[in-house]
Structure 1
């Protein structure tokens, strides 16, 4: 606070507390008068707000202040209020006055006096200071414990800048941490990218009502995260309605529009009764449209209107209905490519693309396999009443395979959940041993080989002759050939050089003081005259 600044107080005339006509008024504590009676505090100007019926009292107050504090300039500010207890009227009047007032924060400091005026006026003062329409702090005055003539009582300043209060800041930080943990179901995930993504989603979820788009492969957790976001907003009293989820891939033809927007009786063959539709069911709540890229163009156009206007026409009806819902959408497609191909409306994509989050696959966040495995075992124990644990050797073997490049986790968390369920079900005496893990690994290899690998052998899907040339490829030992093909297979499925390196050096990287997976992989590829750009193009 600059000592050279002048102090300006803005406050209402207290029609009761400041009242009094005779000499006895000096025997009582009057809040507005008390402000200028503190010897160590100089009030340079007082903007005294009053309603017209109390002009005489305001003029008397101005004269009394001149007697007590000649250095204080009092400006009488008439405020037109038909009902001083009408919140909308009072706030509008104060807001308009503040917008027209010439604040000079460099030369003056402003105190908003909230002891006088109706409770509505005090609340409005608080809101204007909190929103910085009044660029200052709140001023609270109180009478002395024993009233004596001339005793000014006490004054206290309240700064609404929450960053100044360590205790409040810590509570906010803890509240945010709790919300992030809630979105992750308490799983102590370790992947930095995923943790940063969830932290941002938490902030957006509690601050925004705009559509959110979750992108990611099947089983990456889009549906689960959508429900947790709904539960978080519900707990914060931001939503009153239901969570409504639909997989758009299951909607076809007239049934798609009917399911989403409802229909009138007789709208089409088979429409024997009226149907409200999912959008109306989600009124006041959250609508999660999974696989939104599967919607037809007609349904996309109807959805865009419903998002923007909160109104739409049910099938066969000439009357609009209203539904105020928040939209979450999920897709495993690249909607940018779908727009370019004319299969997805660009205006709808623009509307739902304000907040887009790309959920990484399980194979891209192998650090999180262990905590998720423990979480799934805990859920199994809750469901079955039977606790199951790995022995140390079995756990190490399972995680070594699960975090390797060989484990593709095509179904992501669905694959992991199924795997842990099998282990927990077959475990004897509540212990998962090595033999059981070996059998499960064999099952997973069979599952992923059946889906992804050609029957003639996986080594044939990497053409080293095309990459290296016939002379260089023919000069490779079988050992080098097989190793290079395996490395290139990982590179082909990875998003970047760093991602491929992290998968390939998952174990040895933990034993290094300086981790540079990309550099290690780059040097290995350079031995064969290969670079990442060439591999990506191939």
Structure 2
């Protein structure tokens, strides 16, 4: 087969006139001087301004390699540093060139040309617009020696490199396992969510929102997202976590945005604030729905403009951070009630991920037991394991409908820690398990002194509700309190009848039911 080189004239590397030019390494000429690389044709690309140099190179190549035919082609984008123009010029050349793959092999020379041209030629070769391999040349160690230097061929057909593909797949899998803290979860929906978070986290600096009940792992996942981004050198700053439910009044504004000395009573010195501390990093605002309207207003400005004014200051400060928000509330309902700014919600709900409760991931109880035991061993430098019967009994209970897990994974973690602490000789026995099960059941058992309805309605209102309605309403309230959103509660309460409806609006249906008894969603969640 004939060998054809396609490459740019090097306006600097290939330049030179007079006899002295032969003492200089010129890449376009040196290609044709290798004994083990016979070039049958050289398709040389050049701008209109370098036609004389192109003619000189064609003459010089003919003198060192008479068998090489040099064809000159004008490739002259208006701006040689504009990717779109250069790519378009080369793409048009590739589209019109009469490639003959049965009789010729093609080499794309990427040593010459601007960096933009080299990148575009690489991309066109990788996309197979140029059905070729890359040719890279390098000068001899000693200039003026007459040596043609060295060359190497690079095949970009990645289908041949199964090991590279396997490595990328393995690294991606490692990233998702990292986000899951190494827990081999078995819940398909959760695994799909984690895979999506991995894709978004490494590609976007936009806010992320993690929805889910208390104890579902929002804080842990937020920190893992930060650590993943830091491992990819995408961020350099700190991870700052704030529980917004603990912030009230001036303390909230000061904690988040800082203050200057004298901004309020007790402000004895300047304070930077946590958002400035998170500059270049990630701030996790857990329970963001608990922020007051004033804090929400300032937060929106900080997210959009990357600057804000500390309390008592007329000067703005800057902080470029990525926001991860966490909530167990339905923020859309909070907007409807005037408790949350709709423009802030619109800004932070670009990427929303729903973390399921433990009761919806019962197949993940077992791998989380192993994870918690391993963590206990690392933290306490002691290995603890279940007896076979004890583990079987605990897993049977933990995955049964009798296990409410109102505190979700946080409650499971505490349960394992208690049993591991009480284990004699590093073994959790059936006695320890039975005691723990009794403790959990006692915790979840409703208090006899006050039902759900008694905590919400006055005695006079209760007396006017039939016992039949009271029993039904009590179950509905329990379901509402166990769900993160009204939509989730509606889906579970109307699971059977909703499939027979043409239009489904579970939230509206539940809202109207509660209104019959002068109740609303917000009252149930407090």
Q: Give the match for residue 134 of structure 2.
A: 139
User: CA shift at 1:492, angstroms?
Assistant: 11
What RMSD in Å do the two structures reach over aligned CA positions? 4.5
1:249 aligned onto 2:245:
yes
Distance in 1 between residues matched to 2:179 and 2:171, nearest whole Å? 12
User: CA shift at 1:98, angstroms?
Assistant: 3.8
Q: Give the match for residue 74 of structure 1.
A: 72
1:324 aligned onto 2:298:
no
Q: Give the match for residue 128 of structure 1.
A: 120
User: CA shift at 1:351, angstroms?
Assistant: 1.3
User: CA shift at 1:363, angstroms?
Assistant: 0.8
The aligned runs of 1:157-172 (5 Å cut-off) are 157-159=154-156, 165-172=161-168
Kindly tell me: are residues 263 and 354 of structure 1, through their superposed partners in 2, closer, same or farther at Cα, counting changes over 3 Å? same
User: Normalising by the residue count of structure 2, what TM-score does the alignment of the two structures yield?
Assistant: 0.74
- Are the counterparts in 1 of residues 40 and 68 from structure 2 also a CA contact under 8 Å? no
The aligned runs of 1:304-383 (5 Å cut-off) are 304-383=300-379
Moved more, 318-327 or 267-276: 267-276
1:114 aligned onto 2:110:
yes
Where 2:446 maps in the other structure, the secondary structure is helix
1:13 aligned onto 2:10:
yes
Q: Give the match for residue 268 of structure 1.
A: 264
The aligned runs of 1:30-429 (5 Å cut-off) are 30-33=26-29, 42-43=41-42, 45-48=43-46, 56-64=52-60, 72-75=70-73, 92=81, 96-98=85-87, 103=92, 105-108=94-97, 113-116=109-112, 121-122=114-115, 124-129=116-121, 136=130, 139-142=134-137, 156-159=153-156, 165-429=161-425
Distance in 1 between residues matched to 2:147 and 2:379, nearest whole Å? 73
Distance in 1 between residues matched to 2:14 and 2:290, nearest whole Å? 68
User: Normalising by the residue count of structure 1, what TM-score does the alignment of the two structures yield?
Assistant: 0.73
Kindly tell me: are residues 114 and 419 of structure 1, through their superposed partners in 2, closer, same or farther at Cα, counting changes over 3 Å? same
Where 1:441 maps in the other structure, the secondary structure is helix
Where 1:271 maps in the other structure, the secondary structure is coil
Distance in 2 between residues matched to 1:216 and 1:232, nearest whole Å? 21
Kindly tell me: are residues 414 and 78 of structure 1, through their superposed partners in 2, closer, same or farther at Cα, counting changes over 3 Å? closer
1:448 aligned onto 2:441:
no
Kindly tell me: are residues 385 and 16 of structure 1, through their superposed partners in 2, closer, same or farther at Cα, counting changes over 3 Å? closer
CA deviations on 1:83-115 (whole Å, 9 max, x unpaired) are xxxxxxx98356654456662654337975322
User: CA shift at 1:22, angstroms?
Assistant: 4.1
Kindly tell me: are residues 493 and 132 of structure 1, through their superposed partners in 2, closer, same or farther at Cα, counting changes over 3 Å? farther
- Are the counterparts in 1 of residues 385 and 427 from structure 2 also a CA contact under 8 Å? yes
Distance in 2 between residues matched to 1:256 and 1:355, nearest whole Å? 26
Q: Give the match for residue 508 of structure 1.
A: none
CA deviations on 1:52-94 (whole Å, 9 max, x unpaired) are 7x775344124556885897541356799xxxxxxxxx98356
Distance in 1 between residues matched to 2:71 and 2:107, nearest whole Å? 15
1:438 aligned onto 2:434:
yes
Q: Give the match for residue 505 of structure 1.
A: none
- Are the counterparts in 2 of residues 11 and 112 from structure 1 also a CA contact under 8 Å? no
- Are the counterparts in 2 of residues 261 and 279 from structure 1 also a CA contact under 8 Å? yes
Distance in 1 between residues matched to 2:4 and 2:349, nearest whole Å? 48
Where 1:92 maps in the other structure, the secondary structure is coil
Equivalenced residue count is 463
User: CA shift at 1:383, angstroms?
Assistant: 2.1
- Are the counterparts in 2 of residues 220 and 361 from structure 1 also a CA contact under 8 Å? yes
Q: Which runs of 5+ in 1 are unaligned?
A: 81-89, 457-462, 470-484, 501-517, 523-532
